[in-house]
Chain A
Amino acid sequence: MEIFGVPGALLGSQLLVGLINGSFYAILSLGLAIIFGLLNIINFSHGAQYMMGAFVAWIALNKLGVNYWVALLFAPIVIGALGVVIERTMLRKLYKLDHLYGLLLTFGLALIFEGVFRDQYGISGQSYPVPELLQGGVNIGFMFLPIYRAWVVVAALTVCFATWFIIEKTKLGAYLRAGTENPQMVQALGINVPLLITFTYGFGVALAAFAGVLAAPIYQVSPLMGSNLIIVVFAVVVIGGMGSIMGSILTGLGLGLIEGLTRVFYPEASAVVVFVIMVIVLLVRPAGLFGKA
């Protein structure tokens, strides 16, 4: 069977690969959307925090003998704690200022983090092995699916929807959302809003680190792995609507699929297709697909 001159099996496998990449976009854009929604900070160091998550996993494995499964929990905690420190000592002072200041600060931090890792580890990157339990793959008819990639989709989507559930359906989430709408009022009701905000930033950063650990066995763990990805992820957030939780998850997955198809029909354009869509969305719906105008 052929669709537009492309064999059906190839198209099926490309859609699946698109979904895998989409789950990375989803989990990274989710972290950005949460941070923007609750802190009004455009976290430009998100890519660097993703990179550091991967590096923490690599260092933990090679220097401390800590395996992948532990790293999946350990790296987000370490990098999330670093996020908490950044929020407490630096970001906190910027909330009253224009968005631009937060963007510049986090961008500067990203450059510093990348520079430090580049100086220590060089640019070529380090290899992180696929954990034993997830090695190999299965033939699913139209393609050979590496088990690890299937795991990435499951793990990323589980974390994404759990996050959505916490924010939209639980009491803690209700506090968070109320805190962003009217911090003074929520504070007056006896809830510690600054602590909530610190926790939120730490959590958003931990999501990035979690994605970094997921990515470590697929890509070379390298200091620049985040900076190439982060620009696309920002476009995803803009398309989905800044601050929209479900919007960022669905947009991430959808754009992964569209990018996957572009790689078959017009591979040269696969790096720009997301930005073309961003331009169109901004012209038609400036608040993004899921955003509130």
Chain B
Amino acid sequence: MQMKKLSTLACAAAFATLSGAASAQISDNTVKVGVLTDMSGTYSDLAGAGAVLATEMAIADFIAEAKPAFKVEMVSADHQNKADIASNKAREWFEREGVDTATELVTTSTALAVMKVAKEMNRVALMSGPASTPITNEQCNDVTVHYTYDTYALANGTAKAVTQQGGDTWFFLTADYAFGQALEKDSSAVVIANGGKVLGSVRHPFPAADFSSFLLQAQASGAKIIGLANAGADTTNAIKQAAEFGITPKQSLAGLLMFISDVHSLGLQATQGMYLTTGFYWDLDDDTRAWSKRFFEKQKRMPTMVQAGQYSSVLHYLRAVQATGTDEAGKVMAHMKATPIKDFFGKNGRIREDGRMVHDMYLAQVKTPAESKYPWDYYNIRQTIPAEEAFQPLAQSRCPLVKK
């Protein structure tokens, strides 16, 4: 009797130690991925429900490939493009719901707010949606990865190509908030560096519907190129109205941030010939086509670069958790930075010390209606911009984490 009790106790103790060892590494033996995105506003087509789907696909693929000993769960919420809602939700997730990483975060202002909370709580922030360079410069921290693209890479692709092809005088139509201003600043620098001139700019409220006043000012400037430093519905409305007022094709538009969802919504007639820079195109090669078709099956739309980047970033994160056996932010980040990214999205990808994920970017030109052979056949890829050239060089970095 006594013996039996003892052995039971010993067994229980041994079991407790074993399971204790595991749970000390991964809290609750569960990795929780939070998707904080725009589910209902201007950016809900380019991120939104598609980003949630991409996350589910990443988790399912990870479980199938790695057969992890821990559970993986997902939660999602609508941040409504508001910084205060985003940071409150992230705090609630981290403090009370055991969320290990906050992801997606389209709209720069929400991203900047959440990365501060992540730093304070020592959790990882994966940014596949936002665009502004301050995320990896002035505001950078060691728990944040900026994954898909940024305003520097966009300017460096589109503004450079257009200026070099003779579009050497520019006027900017700029969305009046952090992202638009960053995009205008980065693009102006590229235009000037390539021998062009910036004749002026006008800051429009965000969001705006009627662009005729602003377009007429751009027209009066006489610039060859009107740079659209805005996104989403603002860009599509501006393009539509530029054609209406006879501004195009006399002056050309450069959409500095355009997603495939914008081209789809406007149609090829209105967008043909425009240059844009993208981190991903579904019809690039067999790998991108295979993944995108799986995505299309469920979403009935082809993925944007944000949605593809979301998949890739979550998968890279989960693999790092598996490899390190912990969900502690510092160790996971160290592994993510040390491991090159190899999947359909991140060609030649790696995460630098400032948190910037550098990978090949593409300069695309929108096809004419005659060139487009099947649904979503929208881009000619004109140039692959190698990972090392596509993003801001570390030498120019304003991030304190970068040792010079």
* Chain A residues within 8 Å of B, Cβ to Cβ: 7, 9-10, 13-14, 17-18, 20-21, 115, 118, 122-127, 130, 137, 143-144, 146, 148-149, 218-220, 222, 224-225, 228-229, 260, 263-264, 267-268, 270-271
Nearest chain A residue, comparing its CB with the CB of B232: A124
CA–CA, A118 and B262, complex, Å: 16
Q: Show 9 A/B contacts (Cβ-Cβ < 8 Å), sorted by A.
A: A10-B220, A21-B210, A127-B240, A127-B265, A127-B270, A146-B246, A219-B209, A260-B213, A268-B205
Q: Evaluate whether A218 and B220 lie within 8 angstroms (CB atoms) in the complex, with A124-B262, A137-B246, A224-B42 already known.
A: no
Contact B237 A268 (CB under 8 A): no
| Chain B residues closer than 8 Å to A130, beta-carbon distance | 244
Contact A220 B237 (CB under 8 A): yes
CA–CA, A267 and B180, complex, Å: 14
| Chain A residues closer than 8 Å to B217, beta-carbon distance | 10, 263-264
Contact A146 B44 (CB under 8 A): no
CA–CA, A93 and B127, complex, Å: 49
Closest-CB distance, A267 to chain B (whole angstroms): 5
Contact A124 B41 (CB under 8 A): no
Q: What's the tally of chain B residues with a CB closer than 8 Å to chain A?
A: 40
* Chain B residues within 8 Å of A, Cβ to Cβ: 40-46, 48, 176, 202-205, 207-210, 212-214, 216-217, 220, 232-233, 236-237, 240-241, 244-246, 261-262, 264-267, 270, 301
Q: Evaluate whether A225 and B176 lie within 8 angstroms (CB atoms) in the complex, with A10-B220, A124-B233 already known.
A: no
Contact B209 A229 (CB under 8 A): yes
Contact B205 A127 (CB under 8 A): no
| Chain A residues closer than 8 Å to B176, beta-carbon distance | 267-268
Closest-CB distance, A22 to chain B (whole angstroms): 11
Interface centre among A21, A130, A220, A268 (most CB of B within 10 A): A220
Contact A267 B236 (CB under 8 A): no
Closest-CB distance, A13 to chain B (whole angstroms): 5
Q: Evaluate whether A127 and B267 lie within 8 angstroms (CB atoms) in the complex, with A122-B45, A218-B244 already known.
A: yes
CA–CA, A20 and B261, complex, Å: 29
Contact A124 B45 (CB under 8 A): yes
Contact B213 A263 (CB under 8 A): yes
Contact A271 B265 (CB under 8 A): no
CA–CA, A210 and B377, complex, Å: 36
**Set A7, A13, A123: member contacting B233, Cβ < 8 A:** A123
CA–CA, A137 and B262, complex, Å: 26
Closest-CB distance, B93 to chain A (whole angstroms): 25
Contact B246 A144 (CB under 8 A): yes
Known: A126-B265, A220-B265. 14 other contacts (CB 8 A): A17-B216, A124-B236, A124-B261, A124-B262, A144-B246, A146-B244, A218-B210, A219-B210, A224-B233, A263-B213, A264-B213, A267-B214, A270-B205, A271-B205
**Set B203, B209, B266: member contacting A267, Cβ < 8 A:** B203
Closest-CB distance, B232 to chain A (whole angstroms): 7
CA–CA, A222 and B232, complex, Å: 12
| Chain A residues closer than 8 Å to B246, beta-carbon distance | 137, 144, 146
Closest-CB distance, A108 to chain B (whole angstroms): 16
| Chain A residues closer than 8 Å to B44, beta-carbon distance | 118, 122-123
CA–CA, A229 and B237, complex, Å: 14
CA–CA, A228 and B207, complex, Å: 8
Q: Which 8 A-B pairs have the closest CB atoms?
A: A271-B205, A124-B265, A263-B213, A144-B246, A124-B45, A17-B212, A123-B44, A122-B45
